[in-house]
Amino acid sequence: MRDHGIRLRRLRLHGEGRTYDVDFRGPDLAPRPLSIIAGAFSTGKTTILEFIDYCLGASDHPRHPEIMPKVRAATLEVELSGAPHLIERAVGEPSTYAYVSPGLLDDTGTATPQRRRLRPAGAPDSLSALLLSHCKLEGVRLRDNVPGAETDTDPLSFRDLMAVCFLPNERFDDRNLLFENAPMKNLKLRQVVDVLFDVHDDRAIELGRRVRSMETELGAAREAHRTVASVITELEPLSRAELEELERTAKAELSECAIAIAALDAQARADTTFAEDLRERHREAADAARRAAGLLRDRETQASRMMSLRATYAEDVSKLVMLTEAGSLFPPLRVDVCSLCLTPLTPDEPRCANCGAERTAGAQPPDVHRELRSARARLTELTDYVDELERDIPRLRTAAEQTQQAESRAAADVDAATAHAVTPYLAQRDSLARRREEAAGALQRAVDGLRLVHGVEQRAAVADSLDAQLAGLQEELDEAPMTDRAAVIAQVSDRFRDVLREWQFPRADDARVADDLTPYTRGEPYTAASSGGRTLIALAWQLALFEIAWEARSSHPGFLLLDSPHAADDAVYRHLETWLAGPGAGAQLVVADNAPPPAADSDVVVRFSRRADQPPYGLIDDDVE
């Protein structure tokens, strides 16, 4: 088993209040060598592979109608050089960051996720840089043109590497296996293959550059470790063991103090029950004081409001008096002529003698005297009521003061009666409170000290890791011989031919892989074959590259995703199982297949039915038509 590479463990899609999981682990909870995702069309098989690709840095994710309303994030549980990690990305608008943390799904207390940018791929804090470092390909650069030309270089991206890790369905059928429709991708594919097998022209130069870069990074890491260690040494902290012991002791002390304080409070309550009568008298006195104060406040409020109302009525009386005096000075208007014919009328005539019209009444003066009597009566009543309130307020104020004094005396009696019983408990409680504060301070010092020690250890671990990587690169530079590219192509070509022959492909003895990686059968490139033939050729070509790369202990990540190889039959799956059990032990394949043969049932990790009565319906199993 290699000590580097990437293995897939689980994929989880996070929805509102639930998750959608696919498990690639076996009974021993280790990644399965072969995982088959089976099921009918449009049930989410390809979506699973695309979400894996998305978590590994693809620019977009599936946007099917059943996905977008329900899924908010995707998390891929992987093994990076054997250590479990979680890679999470948001779903919706394609995210520009991934969050990576060591740990497993469903574990509590995992480390704080580290944000990894997706672009530029060559940035040290990018997701691509992290994944490439676990494939021993960190720092590799690809030329923008053919090898050997005087041109600029681009950093290798993990997205370039996925071309040999993921064979989607469209590359099976569209005569675009080697990205013939995109010349730059075609060039990068060939360069990636050369990099995997260490046959690229600039290998020695590249290794030297990576060694120098790693030396610089290691020097910076060691300097950071020395700086932090010197600062902490000046603070004279305790050792890790002493800090952990201090933390345990402080937590135990806090727990003991909490128990002791609770017991002391209970005992104090029990020992002061003799003062219950005094407390009851105090409660009654306090209630009486509150009632007296409320009654006084009510009477004062009423008096204030009635005074304002009395002033209003006094003003009305003055106005009515003025109106009666005005009536005596200015008599009311009388009607002495008919309003129709203007004939003079006598005071007692109800109708006009000339035209018979009813006599029009003149404006009648208001009955001011009656209104004046009524207003004076109400003013008198208000005055009497206000006088009664003003006479009552001093009495109520005196009563309120007396009840307040009685409440104070009752409280003093309770204090005097319980002081001798409560005082010892107060002293003990103060002592426990001081112990609790000291324990809390000790706990905080222990936590702070452990955090500092952990920071030093982390920096030491980073420096050690870089040192190990540098030693590996130096050994690779000094001892690893250059591999002949022609020999590698010959190996891949032989394996391609053997695989097709095993699958009883017509005239498989003529099959080969050209120097530009194009597969040939019957003397023709794969593009000349039928649709079913192209599928088998593409599958055999991809497997030949993967198998030779694995057996040569190259820098291949170690997993391969195959999407819907419709021509796969018993022979194909027998080949996969035989190779994985032999030379391919430790590698991982994930295959999405509509109808795998019954012989492969033991490798099926999930089978979608597309039937509501036979769950799971699909990947989004609660979206049933």
171-189 pLDDT per residue, tens: 876 788 998 888 888 888 8
Confidence of residue 158 (pLDDT cuts 50, 70, 90): very high
Structure tokens at 368: 């001011």
Q: What is the pLDDT of residue 498?
A: 94
pLDDT single digits (tens) 432-451:
788 888 888 888 888 877 77
Given a cut of 80, whether residue 540 has pLDDT beyond it is: yes
Least confident of 36-45, 383-392, 409-418, 552-561: 409-418
State the Cα–Cα distance between residues 567 and 595, nearest whole angstrom.
10
Contact 98, 122 (CB under 8 A): no
Residues 486-508, mean pLDDT to the nearest whole number: 92
Beta-carbon contacts of residue 202 (< 8 Å; ≥ 6 apart): 143, 147
Q: Which of 222-236, 244-258, 499-513, 522-536 has the lowest mean pLDDT?
A: 222-236
Range with the poorest average pLDDT among 140-149, 164-173, 447-456, 563-572: 140-149
Instruction: Pick the more confident residue, 583 or 316.
Output: 583
Task: Kindly tell me the sign of the dihedral angle through the C-alpha atoms of 113, 119, 125, 128.
Answer: positive
User: What whole-number percentage of the chain has pLDDT above 70?
Assistant: 83
- C-alpha angle 222/225/230, rounded to 5°? 125
In this structure, the chain runs to a length of 625
Q: Please count the helices (runs of H) and the strands (runs of E) in the chain.
A: 12, 16
- Asked whether the bond before 331 is cis by omega within 30 degrees of 0, the reply is no
Of 266-275, 296-305, 340-349, which range is least confident? 266-275
Higher pLDDT, 172 or 417: 172
How sure is the predictor about 285, in pLDDT bands with cuts at 50, 70 and 90?
Answer: confident
In sequence order, which ranges of 150-275 are alpha helices (DSSP H)? 158-161, 169-173, 183-196, 203-235, 240-271
| pLDDT for the residue numbered 150 | 44
**Mean of the per-residue pLDDT values of the chain:** 82
Q: What value does the mean pLDDT take over residues 116-143?
A: 86
50-59, 207-216, 535-544, 607-616: which range is least confident on average? Answer: 207-216
Between CA 43 and CA 623 the distance in angstroms is: 10
Look at residue 474 in the predicted model and tell me its pLDDT: 67
DSSP class of residue 96? S
- Residue (of 258, 226, 200) closest to 432 by Cα position: 258
pLDDT at position 562 is: 94
| pLDDT grade for 558, boundaries at 50, 70 and 90 | very high
Hey, where are the domains in the chain?
275-433
Overall average pLDDT of the 145-161 stretch: 68
The Cα–Cα gap between 36 and 45 comes to 10
First to last CA, the chain: 45
| Separation of alpha carbons 447 and 437, rounded Å | 15
Least confident range from 93-102, 227-236, 414-423, 443-452: namely 414-423
Alpha helices, H only, 30-162: 45-55, 127-133, 158-161
Q: Are 86 and 103 in contact (CB under 8 A)?
A: yes
Answer yes or no: is pLDDT of 611 > 60.
Answer: yes
Mean pLDDT computed over 525-551:
91
Rg (CA), the chain: 48
pLDDT band (50, 70, 90) for residue 492: very high
Whole-number pLDDT of residue 556? 93
Which range is least confidently modeled, 75-79, 185-189, 353-357, 584-588? 353-357
For residue 512, give the DSSP letter.
Answer: E
The one-character DSSP state at 165 is T
pLDDT of 587 higher than 90: yes
465 — pLDDT class (breaks 50, 70, 90): confident
State residue 499's pLDDT score. Answer: 94
Least confident of 30-39, 405-414, 492-501: 405-414
pLDDT of residue 146: 46
Least confident of 188-192, 367-371, 544-548: 367-371
